[in-house]
Amino acid sequence: MKIAVVGATGLVGTKMLEILAERNFPLTELILVASPKSVGQKIHFKGKDYEVVSMETAILLKPQIALFSAGGSTSLEWAPKFAEVGTTVIDNSSAWRMDADKPLVVPEVNAHILKATDKIIANPNCSTIQMVVVLNPLHRQYSIKRVVVSTYQSVTGTGKKAVDQLMNERNGIKGEMAYRYPIDLNLIPQIDVFLDNGYTKEEMKMVMETKKIMGDASIQVTATAVRVPVMGGHSESVNIEFNSPFELSKVIDLLENTEGVVVQDIISLQEYPMPINAHNKDAVFVGRIRKDDTQANTMNAWIVSDNLRKGAATNAVQIAEYLVQNQLV
């Protein structure tokens, strides 16, 4: 089982390597790929040093699976070239997510749609992944009509440059800016570019990806995405309206028995999900679960997850595990 990690020197690529090691993924050969300036660099993995190679070299080696985290333009150019030699690409960028011919997968929700003929598989947006893991069991039970979500997204979702900006500002150091504005002691209500409808691209990703992953275009989603000076993970305030009545105790029981979900909701102990506690964990944490008293069949929840792990790298590795376990590669 040859596995390539494309974008191996980046934040998500590095996390992918960590998770492959942690989960003892059954690889026999590891191929590390990065930009031309990184070719020749050595990266340590499970007691051995690996040399970073070029895209061309990696394609010649014909890996069974390539985990991509190198940006949309790179994926558009190179993922088809890997697919042509029989490699199954799991791509973390937004390049293929809304392509009707490419599956968009969160394993706990819709891994069953995967086929051996799927050679480019899209890994969803980080903020969408954690939300649909919670929404899916509720939708199956009560049928979701509408979702209103506001996100509180970590600077790690932007990358190292943003982390550096935050820490520089915190330490009074002038440096390169990932954002137009300061992020320390601030919130920025813009993630990605604005579209003609007044929403940002990040917000519309959540709208469209939720419908595709859950396989139901009737679910109405509206989103506001906000960047916050946090590094542990993304948080979301989610208001969910169902088509049928529900009992709160049954909702909690349903979530407690959902794969990948951890309920943290003990008001008397002030126990609820926070990014500082979700950091470096793979679960999706949910709490502050309560009825919305202003509208029938509606509830509120607070959802938190490590965006570099379940929101990106872990989800991609879980897709790869599913492919191997089900002999789809």
Catalytic residue among 44, 112, 126, 279: 126
234 is catalytic: yes
Distance, in Å, from the CA atom of 296 to the CA atom of 51, rounded to the nearest integer, reads 58
Of the chain, the end-to-end C-alpha distance in Å amounts to: 9
Listed in order, strand segments (DSSP E) in 102-208 are: 120-122, 144-153
Structure tokens at 33: 């790929």
CB < 8 Å & 24+ apart, contacts of 106-109:
106/132, 106/133, 106/136, 106/213, 106/315, 107/315, 107/318, 107/319, 107/321, 107/322, 108/133, 108/136, 108/258, 108/259, 108/260, 109/133, 109/136, 109/213, 109/214
279 is catalytic: no
Catalytic residue among 112, 139, 234, 279: 234
Distance, in Å, from the CA atom of 32 to the CA atom of 75, rounded to the nearest integer, reads 15
Q: What is the DSSP letter of 176?
A: -
Task: Confirm if 321 and 25 have CB atoms less than 8 A apart.
Answer: yes
The residues assigned a catalytic role are 126, 234
